[in-house]
Structure 1
């Protein structure tokens, strides 16, 4: 077996889809289900033979492919005006990355030792940048030299960055050139910061200005080349890590308050990686596309799993609009993704294929034939239809995909099924949180009935459901048990940093993480997320509604780009702000008004959002999603405000992981929402009255 498969175990043949999660005998108690474990590998721990236990072992495992093998790649910048990137990827080898991490790790260790850095409880080092090879190299250096990383989302505003640096006492930070002025201006509020290392090369002019500015406020500014030279002058050997050693403070999104710092150890991350390697069948020369934020645990564990197998990681050019171009050049085999990206692929394919005439007829026949074959046999390939109809769809993402994963938010089952047949590769959904290193459940490969579920328990943890009486969910429900999903395993955090209150609320005395998500477990042992314990509000008539669940239901519509549900405990019904997809909005507006409106005509689209007939048409479309999703009458949206001004990280209404910050979202549209409530009760029987 090749070295790249060192820690990979494949599923048995045939795959036992009917036993993806199995109850552990004798574990059921009143008010909760039995504990469920993975149906093939059971519960994996650090004592399991061949299991990874530290980040050092992960890197060493990858290094065994050979120091000259390509590892981290990027598209070189050709010009800045106009912005242009090379039509190829340039690669750093494993040997080059190994040497660079030794230089960086040695420099950091030396500076902490002599007191130039540090001063807090921990030896923390910050990373604030988009995904790029330097991000990964610095993080490997931090992990393999006994330090602790603090990853900061590239899009975060200065207030949250200031909080994270202060909270974790970051004294050195690696960042991109554009963030350096922000950090220098923040210096009076972050006096512990002593060094800023630019991941971008500094020209002589930049170096002079930034160095002098830095010295004036007590911060040493340099670029990577200078910093690596410090370590190169006095190289130190990497520090042997232990599983219980802290390696990362990973901050959660913070939708309602300051972010919580999840304390992640080497063992937690390594076991989560090991768990994701079970059943991972990728080519030895495969590449992973990196564009999801590395500060998010989902991308972090995905890239660590790639490293463990000795595969390549290709980083996007930094512009989401160039992501398709990047993928077509890289030709990845693994494409970790999120619903907002996959929904765009789905919408584009459907709009291009589902057209009048012969082309549309062939497209619909191809979908029908491939869906029937996949649901009957699990095989999502078709020699004829793949070549005739779906070849162009597959080429959009490079044409060599073996696995597409979806996480961080729910995705509609119809979208998943279409992507499975259109891309002709494994497309699976998983579930996890920062608190369990992004690893809790995952769909099994080519499971023909998995869409709509997040799969069975991962080998690293066990799961159970506990009753939620206030919402009517119990472990005795028929035909399937329902309740709050809890997970436990060596990948689950023990504590948040400096936050005993939130730690006690999240982790019980038996080590179970209470996720806040309501789930059911089906007859195959797979989990389906059906509701949310948190973000529950009470309407005037006394009924409880889970607004996130409702948002997820309505957002299944391809016509919806974003949707925010708002309720008031003094009112008996719900409202929503809808940001429509421009392509679908233009089609609806053209049909309703009888005037051709294109998706690029911004002025006409803004007008359409105010047109009562267009609003009614859009509301009727949402009503169909409500019925399809089985929403009760009081859970349905009664009035909507349509806007082309999206919720964003920049305006403070979204977290970096694109979750809505409810208070800020309401504040943004307060006038419009209050005006809708001022119209009075639309009546219980009129779900689309405006």
Structure 2
């Protein structure tokens, strides 16, 4: 099989940033268009299955090169991790994936497991080397992995039964939990612990399994079966199913996205375009591998022969993990970067010399960015941000992020804070014209660049950042901002090299492909990376993919004069107020969330009402500062009793309302888009309380249900004044 000789693929130096996508001649038709992506499964040197990605990486490094690493536990009570990483080499991972894959192949062939329409194998665990070993094994032996979020608990039942799963790999601490659910998962025949089970625990769990008709074993025993029955890896066709990956379920039950080897291989191949870092990647892995974004990032590293160090699983230890690992790559999500922006804005308001110095440094760098496109500064990068480098280990060159758009102000702040580029992308749909990327731009990396994380005095370091956006349905691959594109703030960039894009009219919202000066509409994408079906869900499949294979995203965008996309609205999660105005709730939340006082925000609307409500969870540091100022005495952000009293104080919530109103004016929200009444709470919205998905997106229906009493009470009050008020 062909293996691309040069990875990653840099942009050509003569790429024209003023023409980042072009209309395909003759494709403009009512309701549909047609075009062809730049990189497809039939392109020269294209990966056509994911097994080739592994081969590509292995051929680029010595077999003893470290591949998958972890920090060993040296004490359970108290919990303590080693101050170093231990590693599985590329040769060891290759051997283990063959053993695991061969064992699974034999179990299915002998009828020990199986029975459903697909040979599905579940993975129910947090990130760890064994997770990746198991997934690589399924790739190489035509087995379909079904990824389950580590936080699902009893909700795993639905996904197990939906895919008629007969065997599941689980974290050791989940074995008993799954056995408790045995009566509800009749297809399950085998549980395999991801790590070796202690002898006493294995004896108890095995006996329990025998009582409920489920065999319990561990990965060590499974690998012995594989070692005795070794088979060579299989290279599946591009249309062979590789995995079923569930959506986050923000608007209802999660849907099982059926991905093929071709889908995943094409998406990963496209992500390797436009990266100009030639050294072998070393990445920290903390984004959940159950989500396609985390898997896509790790496969991109594997395809280049890189090393992946898994975090210890504790957010409080993430920085410690990175300081020990010293990665040169860090995947992130916009929620993290938005928090950095909020904290930076808070730092700019600090009193005294520190605040003044920060404001001046930020102003100088923003002016330079806007006038010249240069994000570095020899003096201020050294004086203001000199403590940055050590926090993330000192070697980070690339921060990659995706899943949602960011505000222009946040993007510009991050460009100068990172002393580098912030590149954003998003998957979208609309009617009229198809666009695809035809030119690419190569920009030199910033040397000694700085990524300021102005959160509680912490700092970090990096060279540049790629902000991506995509969805599970397109493997997180749709559009991306070009490096060194000064005018890109507020846009989500041009289509990636494998992506076709078109805009579709949305008459009810007044968007059309004929709008001037820029065509507008709902965004559709198509390409070899886009999925073809939801598993056993024909209705939702037809609602998402049209007869020409276009994936409808529900986002509304425009295409600017340089061929970049800008997200301007949302078809889904919009509602109409009683006076007839349409409001995109997620957009309003995104714009308000840049306010430093906001830790979390949920915007609620009712079509029988003329205004919006807000549920605000204040940032504890900001809330403590406001309370201290109002009460004239110091309040600690750790004093939960005082913070709970603060949100009941009219003067405190008045200050919070003032901050929200200031933010609304700053971002240009129209009157009907502003929040008129709010409810304050110090209870975070979490996965555990059912208000967020495992990918940290709001579950709107569940948030409303939880706070229904408080929000309905706000609507029961008389019509509000122009200023927001609180019950």
Do these two structures clear the TM 0.5 threshold for a shared fold by scoring above it?
yes
Whether 1:536 and 2:574 are equivalent positions in the alignment is yes
Q: 2:45 aligns with which of 44, 50, 69?
A: 50
CA distance in 2, matches of 1:623, 1:30: 42
CA distance in 2, matches of 1:359, 1:615: 27
CA deviation after TM superposition for structure 1 residue 687, in Å: 4.2
CA distance in 2, matches of 1:617, 1:325: 36
Match of 1:508 in 2: 546
Q: 2:355 aligns with which of 357, 360, 385?
A: 360
CA distance in 1, matches of 2:365, 2:680: 37
SS in 1 for 2:181: helix
Match of 1:263 in 2: 258
Q: 2:65 aligns with which of 60, 66, 69?
A: 69
Is the alpha carbon distance of 1:546 and 1:90 closer, same or farther for their aligned partners in structure 2, counting shifts above 3 Å? same
Q: 2:382 aligns with which of 366, 387, 392?
A: 387
Match of 1:621 in 2: 659
Match of 2:460 in 1: none
Match of 2:454 in 1: none
CA distance in 1, matches of 2:649, 2:27: 58
Whether 1:325 and 2:320 are equivalent positions in the alignment is yes
Q: 1:553 aligns with which of 580, 586, 591?
A: 591
CA distance in 2, matches of 1:376, 1:338: 28
Match of 2:27 in 1: 27
Mean alpha-carbon deviation: is it higher for 312-321 or for 253-262? 253-262
SS in 2 for 1:304: helix
Q: Is the 8 A contact 2:246 2:255 kept in 1?
A: yes
Q: 2:298 aligns with which of 303, 312, 321?
A: 303
1:156-215 Cα offsets, whole Å, 9 max, x none, are 1313x1110000111111111221122101111101111111113311111111111111
Match of 1:115 in 2: 111
Match of 1:291 in 2: 286
CA distance in 1, matches of 2:297, 2:323: 20
CA deviation after TM superposition for structure 1 residue 413, in Å: 2.9
Q: Is the 8 A contact 2:250 2:700 kept in 1?
A: yes
Is the alpha carbon distance of 1:459 and 1:311 closer, same or farther for their aligned partners in structure 2, counting shifts above 3 Å? same
Match of 1:277 in 2: 272
Match of 2:141 in 1: 145
CA distance in 2, matches of 1:449, 1:35: 29
Matches within 5 A, 1:72-221: 72-159=68-155, 161-221=156-216
Match of 2:470 in 1: 432
CA distance in 1, matches of 2:277, 2:191: 38
1:531-559 Cα offsets, whole Å, 9 max, x none, are 11012222222322221121112112222
Q: Is the 8 A contact 1:23 1:35 kept in 2?
A: no
Match of 1:520 in 2: 558
1:583-620 Cα offsets, whole Å, 9 max, x none, are 11111222222222121111111111111122122122
CA deviation after TM superposition for structure 1 residue 681, in Å: 1.2
CA deviation after TM superposition for structure 1 residue 104, in Å: 0.3
Q: Is the 8 A contact 2:4 2:46 kept in 1?
A: no
Q: Is the 8 A contact 2:195 2:220 kept in 1?
A: no
Is the alpha carbon distance of 1:506 and 1:4 closer, same or farther for their aligned partners in structure 2, counting shifts above 3 Å? closer
CA deviation after TM superposition for structure 1 residue 219, in Å: 1.1
SS in 1 for 2:188: coil
CA deviation after TM superposition for structure 1 residue 575, in Å: 0.8
Q: Is the 8 A contact 1:21 1:526 kept in 2?
A: yes
CA deviation after TM superposition for structure 1 residue 437, in Å: 1.1
Whether 1:568 and 2:606 are equivalent positions in the alignment is yes
CA deviation after TM superposition for structure 1 residue 398, in Å: 2.2
Q: Is the 8 A contact 1:23 1:36 kept in 2?
A: no
Matches within 5 A, 1:602-621: 602-621=640-659
CA distance in 1, matches of 2:390, 2:339: 15
How many residue pairs match? The answer is: 681
Is the alpha carbon distance of 1:564 and 1:689 closer, same or farther for their aligned partners in structure 2, counting shifts above 3 Å? closer
CA distance in 2, matches of 1:387, 1:36: 48
Match of 2:533 in 1: 495
CA deviation after TM superposition for structure 1 residue 4, in Å: 9.3
Whether 1:234 and 2:229 are equivalent positions in the alignment is yes
CA distance in 1, matches of 2:414, 2:35: 29
CA deviation after TM superposition for structure 1 residue 472, in Å: 1.5
Q: Is the 8 A contact 2:556 2:569 kept in 1?
A: yes
1:381-437 Cα offsets, whole Å, 9 max, x none, are 333322222232343222222211221223333333333323322223222111111
Match of 1:336 in 2: 331
Is the alpha carbon distance of 1:357 and 1:575 closer, same or farther for their aligned partners in structure 2, counting shifts above 3 Å? closer
SS in 1 for 2:177: helix
CA distance in 2, matches of 1:456, 1:678: 46
Match of 1:376 in 2: 371
CA deviation after TM superposition for structure 1 residue 375, in Å: 3.1
Is the alpha carbon distance of 1:162 and 1:455 closer, same or farther for their aligned partners in structure 2, counting shifts above 3 Å? same
CA distance in 2, matches of 1:377, 1:129: 47
Q: Is the 8 A contact 1:145 1:238 kept in 2?
A: yes
CA distance in 2, matches of 1:627, 1:345: 21
Structure 2's unaligned 5+ residue stretches are: 419-448, 450-462
CA distance in 2, matches of 1:639, 1:687: 5
CA deviation after TM superposition for structure 1 residue 5, in Å: 6.1
Q: Is the 8 A contact 2:49 2:235 kept in 1?
A: no
CA deviation after TM superposition for structure 1 residue 513, in Å: 0.4
CA distance in 1, matches of 2:289, 2:85: 20
1:231-290 Cα offsets, whole Å, 9 max, x none, are 111111111211111101111112232211111000011000111101122242331121
Whether 1:314 and 2:309 are equivalent positions in the alignment is yes
CA distance in 2, matches of 1:654, 1:27: 41
Is the alpha carbon distance of 1:417 and 1:326 closer, same or farther for their aligned partners in structure 2, counting shifts above 3 Å? farther
Q: Is the 8 A contact 2:405 2:469 kept in 1?
A: no
SS in 2 for 1:383: coil
CA deviation after TM superposition for structure 1 residue 365, in Å: 2.8
SS in 1 for 2:677: strand
How does the TM-score come out when normalised to structure 2?
0.90
Whether 1:630 and 2:668 are equivalent positions in the alignment is yes
Q: Is the 8 A contact 2:346 2:596 kept in 1?
A: no
CA distance in 1, matches of 2:352, 2:159: 57
How does the TM-score come out when normalised to structure 1?
0.95
Q: Is the 8 A contact 2:324 2:393 kept in 1?
A: yes
Whether 1:414 and 2:409 are equivalent positions in the alignment is yes
SS in 2 for 1:182: helix
Q: Is the 8 A contact 2:342 2:595 kept in 1?
A: no
Match of 1:17 in 2: 17
SS in 2 for 1:18: coil
Q: Is the 8 A contact 2:348 2:358 kept in 1?
A: yes
SS in 2 for 1:393: coil
Match of 1:225 in 2: 220
CA deviation after TM superposition for structure 1 residue 475, in Å: 1.6
Match of 2:715 in 1: 677
Match of 1:594 in 2: 632
